[in-house]
């Protein structure tokens, strides 16, 4: 019970300090401005999101395949020349 009371006092003191310094007002303004900016954003439709996901997945597979092939070529060259 005492521990809970000590934590309540610490949290209350931290809240009072932040309130007095104006940190809570700054945080409130930041959150409001962020929400306003997010309302201005145009979000992709479900179809656009699925299309972008397919393009990214295909790109990752192609890049991965290319890297594996190049790695195998260099590995075989190094083994052939015993470097």
**What is the token pair recorded at 33?**
């401005």
Q: What pLDDT does residue 74 have?
A: 95
Determine the pLDDT at residue 24: 87
pLDDT in tens, 20-49: 888 889 989 999 999 999 999 998 999 999
Question: Token match 């940190």: residue?
Answer: 23
User: What is the pTM for the complete model shown?
Assistant: 0.53
3-state secondary structure of 51: helix
The Cα 37–Cα 14 span in angstroms is 30
């Amino acid at each position: 019970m005492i521990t809970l009371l000590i934590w309540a006092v610490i949290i209350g003191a931290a809240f009072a300090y932040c309130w007095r310094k104006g940190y809570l007002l700054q945080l409130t303004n930041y959150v409001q401005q962020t929400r306003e900016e997010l309302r201005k954003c145009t979000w992709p439709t479900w179809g656009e999101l699925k299309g972008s996901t397919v393009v990214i997945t295909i790109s990752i597979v192609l890049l991965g395949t290319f890297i594996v092939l190049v790695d195998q070529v260099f590995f075989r060259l190094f083994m052939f020349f015993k470097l």
